[in-house]
Structure 1
Amino acid sequence: MLHPYEELEAQLPSVLVEELHALTMHVGHLCQLPSSVLAAFTIQHQAKVFPPSWHLLHLHLDINWLILEVLHVLGEKMMRQVVYANHFINLTGENLTSVSLFEKHCGNLISDLISLSINKYTKVRPSEALTSHHYPCTCIKELWILLIQLLDHRSKGSHTECFWSLVNKTLKNIFERPSSSEGMSGFEAIQCKDPLSFSWWIVSHLASLYQFDRNGNLDEKKQKESNWQFVEELLKKSTDAQTGVLEEHLRMHLQCCLTLCSFWDLNLSIVTILWDYYSKNLNSGFTVPWLGLKDLANVSKTSLSMLELVKCCCSEQQIPSLYKSHNSYFIFLCILARMIKEENSGMHPWKQIKGRIYSKFHRKRMQELTEVGLQNFFSLFLMLAIVVETEDIVSRVLDLLDFLAPSSITVSQRALIWRGHFAFLLIYVEKNMDVSALAEKISSAFREKAKEFLVNKNDYTQRHNLWTLLSTYVDGVQEVFETSCYLSLSEEKLLNDGFTMLLPACRGAELSMVLNFLQVVLARLRSVHERVSQGLQLGNTAPDAQLPLVAKEHHLAVASALWRNFFPYLKSQRMSQMPPSPQLADTAAGFTLLALDIPSKALSDLQPQPVLSMMQLFGWDDMVWPQLVSRYLSHLIQNSSLCEAFSSMGYTSYEALTVRSWFRCILQMFIDQPSGVLAKTDAERTVGKAYMEQLTEMTRLIFKLSEVENILSKAHVEESVFKQDPKYALVQFIKAVGRTYSGLQTLPEKSAMVAKTLEYLGDVLKYVKPYLKAKGPPEGLQLTYWIIGCLVKFWAPILATSKAQQLLFRIVDCLLLPHSVLQQDKELPVALLSAIQESLPLYLQGLSFICCQSQTQGAYLNQLLGSIIRHYFGRFLPSSPTVPGTGQHPLLTALCSSITAPQMLRLRKTTLHVISENYMQFKGNAPPPRLASVLAFILEVLQRTQSTELCDIELVLPSVLKCMVLVNELQVKKISTDIVQNVVEGCQAGSGGEHATQLTSVFRQFIQDYTAVYDHRVFSILETVAVLDQMLVTNLIPTITQSLKDLEYKQGLGRNAAQREAYKRLLSYLAEAGQNEIQKLENETDE
């Protein structure tokens, strides 16, 4: 007989099943809990005190899991025998076993968890599907992991359903929407608006939980059970035309599928299903309207962007914002790339699906492709070319493209095809494969289009269409050159003679683009050639020891193509009618440096010294636009290799010729401005500002040349000079040269310096000829006269030499005494006259110095100086001394400047001689014109210099005294009196008796000439002088007395009482000598 406990123990399994069943009935479904309890899921774990609802909710979770755990342990203890709930069966007649209870409760729990996920999914956007978790809290996540571990463990030991099987069954019920509540009593109330998308979402998230082991730790190496069969069914529904899944959902479905590919093993059926769909929809843009502009860029603008896009789908790294940045077709390519790259039992997947992909493209299908379809076509085959057999793929693509009828291809489609070609070229380059065959095909097409572009250069519509293609080609070639590591893959094939037809037909922005491209190619070739020549490699060492040799051969070929197909156009644009674009100078500099690096491939007409020929063409030619020269030389002045090259040639004029070009660039800075006085447009101001900045940079570099630095150092010029305005910097350099020359001691040094200086200048008058010919613009004339005036003044010792005098004579003839100036009755242009007025003092001061120095041409130079003064004194002399706004006379400025004594004396003497001979000569008793202005000028000279020279007494005083006698105009009398006062007082202040003797001589002659007729005026003048210098007039008493007596004798009327009375009045000013002379005269009267 059994012990009661043993009987109870035997009934325990059955009773336990019944109790557990009762418990499940009591707690019910999770999803049926009140919303206030379910809301506890949102409480964060950081909370310090949890509410009762949170505890109740988690109690339900624990009970649900523990029921399964107890039933599983029961099964293990019972050696997997089925336990029947006998009492329950007897009472109800329903079958209840441990297995059925486990399966039912497990199904209910998974349904409950999925229902919770559906509630979560209603708030998930398609774009956030992969980042939004399916569990409302981590406890649910842990429960899912426990279910995965438990169910898959049970399925391995017996024939029970695995985790995925139960999930699939539950998800299928969502699609089927069962009417009966059998087994799903708690689920029928769950509404899912998009069960297909939800299924993708939940499956992809549940698959990620397979990464956790039974302890909940992350184990990425853990084997993951796949669920491909169910996913295939999902994929068929997603791509079913009748289902009509929108792109916004399809992206999310494929994104989930891509995620599953990273978790599970290879499955080519997925690719087959997707390819069947996308091969029929290649012309679709796969856009999502609500994403706006972000989603419209279906067609890549460049070959590089096309390739980079495809590379993204081949990358193992996860792409951020994949949903918004790429369409579903791109995600399909990601899936395809991932599948193809995986090996499966030694069988390459590509060989299995190759036929399926190729079979979809035939002539009719190719001709049906739109521009978007072609883009998708290229994206597919570019991805395949990256991942598998590149040459085979490219060959097939070219064959397929031949199916397209040329007449039916639009311009945009052809441009896309060209971009596709270049994308394949870039793949070749990255894989270090020779591009010869592919390059020849695309370059041949380019040649034809370039020819059409040249022929139709006046047809705007045709030009626009052709330029779309040609610019695509230019961009593509540039990308190839920038991508290639060694330029050893026959890249030169892309630089064919099509460019010789393209360049002459380009205008504005078109030419700018081609020249920028050319600069990139030149710089790339030089950089790679230098690296290869030095034996340097990028990254790993070259796989082929012959690489440098092979690369150099290709570099020669590239250089040859550049010289042959680009340089002739560049050369032809040196002297264009309009100022060339800055890119022309940049490109010419690039060719110059290429000639330095690879001289052998320069054109024959540049040989044997191509670098020197290039400098002569673009840097030193006086006929080339200064804008081009300044920018060109700025690239090269400080290039040490170039300097070394000229040194090795023995070419010593390199720096001097560069300085000469700098001179010209500054002098011609206004050469392209109109001669009129109209206001400049904004565009002209911009150009002018850009050129000034260029000149400033050029000046900075010029001042770093060794010759220039040496001159500045000897002249003690500060380094900050080059930071000034280029015009002022040039003047500082001119001064420095003059000071340096003056400091030389030996004749050979001076002779060499003169030769070097003339080399710096060149034909300076040729540079300014355009200004003189056009009589403008005013800025150009001002600059011309000022700079060359500085030359004449500060280089006067140099210009005084026999080597430089011819230049001086030409300067005078062209600038100061041209034919128009010699015609006194002809008015000069205001701008020209203004320029001369401002700069004339410089010329006069320089010429006066040269007159003092010259040994051979002294007389001619004096004559020249006098001629200049004669022509310009009158032109700048105001009609009256009081005329406002006339400014200071340039001759006055010259005479009153701080110059050496001999120089000043020469200028003063010549000026006064010219004035006396030409502007103070009376016609009979009629005074010369503008006499008051002439006298005012003389007075100002005397007042400003505060000295009296012999020439003043000899040349000026006689004429001034004559004016005092013959002219009654008060202004003339006043100024004349002031002049006499200045001269007399100046002679008193001066040392030595020479001035007094000369002064006495002049007054003696004055008395003899005018006393006979103008005795009273003469006596009146002498009275004024007596007040200033009594001794002077005292010494003149014998002359005055004798003149008086001679006059009386001639008159034959005896003594003239009136004259004698006037004379006595004068004598009364002369103290004792005067009284004595009065006494003598009275004694004569008494007799």
Structure 2
Amino acid sequence: NCLPSVSFRLQLLLHLAPAPADYEEDTVDIFGFPWVTETALVESTKLLFGLFRQKLLKLETLVQSSSHDFGQASSLRYEAEDLRKQCVLFLQYVKVFLYRYLEPTCPLEEGPCQPYEELEAQLPSALLEELFEVTLLIGRLKDLPANIQSALTIQHQGKLFPPFWHLLCLHLDIHWSVVYAHQFVNLTGENLTNNSLFEEHLCNLLSDLTGLAMGKYSKVMCMGPLTSHHYHCTCTKELWILPIHLLEHRSKVLHTQSFWNYMNTLLRSLISGQPVAEEYGVLPTHCKDPLGFTWWLVTHLAELGQYSRNGAFQNEKQLEDNWSFVGELLLIDLCVLQRTLQEDQIRMHVHCCLNLSVLWKPKNSTVTTKPVPWLGVSGLCSVSRTPLALLDQARIYCSPSPLLSPSHTQLYRSANSFHIFLRVLALYLAQENAGGFHQRRMQELSEAGLMNFLCWAFSQTAREFYLKTTEPSRRLALWGPLGSYLGGVAEVFETSVCLGLSEEKLLNEEFGLLLPACRQSELSSALGFLQIVLRELRVGKGRHLAVAAALWANLFPFLRSLRLSNTPPAQLADAAAGQMHTQRERGREWEEWGRRINVHCTQQFHTQPVCLSQGACLRKQLRDVISKYLDHFLPATPSVGATANHPALLAHLLNGQTTGSVSYLFCVCLHSENFLHFKGNAPPPRLVTVLAFLLELLRRNNAVTPPCSPCPFPSLLRCLKLVNERTSTEALQLVVERCSAAAGDAPCDQTVTVLR
């Protein structure tokens, strides 16, 4: 039995005839001669191909002549165009004849055969033989002379093209016709050409087209890779589209490899530097960035998948997605990111990923699990300096611009990698099945939803910042987004009317990793952030206890550890005092805090073994710490309750064994310019409050401690002289009484010295 008709098989495979409106007449004019349309290729195979090779050689001769005969340039261009048209007309006729008139071979009845039937039976093998001779004549695309390949890059003015341009385009037509003919003859049921010949011609063509694209890629990086196509002209564009559709239909009907399978095999070899499969030949080696080129080429080929086999833009996916291979590219990016990838390369890769996500249906398992650790949050600090502005941007990203719009194509220049990554993330979250998020919900994203994303991003970066294996340069780069996170969280607390969105989650456990890894300048910023949060809590914005609990659990264990530091930061007392103020509700913990700071600083002041060059600096730092600690709880106006319940005084009562040393250090601090220091005759601010505190301290310190008592004596005398204040008189009286009691019956030398 005969196989199904050729027409049926090709309609099933290619859906459409090569040229349904052409060659409808009884005769056709080819190479200047009339031929019977239905029989010419069978009866005159060798003659027609002989004329074809003759025209091809004449065109090659014109190319050589045009390189040195400039006087005939115009006429040579006309002649070259005419020769190419004749050759293209013949190739088209061959494809139409195969589609319309070639029937599969059937068992012949016994008896003599008609001459035409014998010729028709021999046509498949004769045709393949002739096409093979033509390919030997022209060679592969990659072997074309440089002056002919340069035709792809020259911008021609007007409608007349030079002869070498016509020759190059004819070579492209010939290579596609060979692939088409092999494919067609296989479908007729003839076993005259095995599948390996089709594979060889196809793979050679794909390899050569990839090589041509490499030459284009090397020139487009500086202009923005995705704004320039991988093809040089409409001829190469069409030569990409035709194999795409041919291989996709073969894959669906004959269950053979898809277009992407062929390209993935080729590109894997390019990236790895390993030899490619034999049928592809030798790949070009002039690509300096094979990974970037692969991203770029896959993206542009996916865009070509929107075109029909006739070259019409359909604005819908004609080509299946290639997410599995994109996942491989992302894994490779993860491996080389720390070593070689620069920001401009990452930006281009993510831009390609965004284009693919728009073209294909996003696949969560491929992209969302890989780009996030790949990118980290290296660009978060440049996205927006405020969380509310970041929220507005996230809403905008949910409605991406069209692929061909200027705002989208210029992202490579106008945005950083994290900007573009946010657009990718928005596409995935906008899906109905993406964890319950879709476009409407993303557009209605609340501050709480944004907060969850920020917390997650902060956690990842803080963990990397904490690792001892992180290089200093990397840690310095990570501080940018971390500092922006602290600034954004501080703004949340400052601008929120009421803390009702679980803001305590922003103060998560990763602070326990961040703070110990901070250097002095970074720690200063972190403690400044803490003071802002504490200040806003004192205002009273709701959820007071929840936020205070988060502070106590995640930030203050590190502050406790600073007690053992030889050089505690100046903000330590501010932060500790602010925390005590917010913790007056979990019992005497705040009092214990005050006692620990007082005792530790006093011991440091008296017993810490430091060399002479460091001693003065250390003493000054300790005085500054305690001075700020005291200053936090001194009210602007005198208040008996505020003075009596000052944490320092309560801690003083709990620490009776070291009363003298504690009092001595407090007196030193009170003697600083923040409290009792006059500027000329002008009294310091809050003088009455300071005197009340000092008086209360002296009243509670009943022990006879000569080193402590005379310390505020000079300042009290000046207060008595310049300010008519009863508190200074009472305090001065207590100092004199303590000094007299300590001296016994003898004169008090310290008092006498001060008075002199």
Q: TM-score, normalised by structure 2?
A: 0.46
Greater relative CO, 1 or 2 (CA 8 Å, sep 6+): 2
Larger relative helix fraction: 1
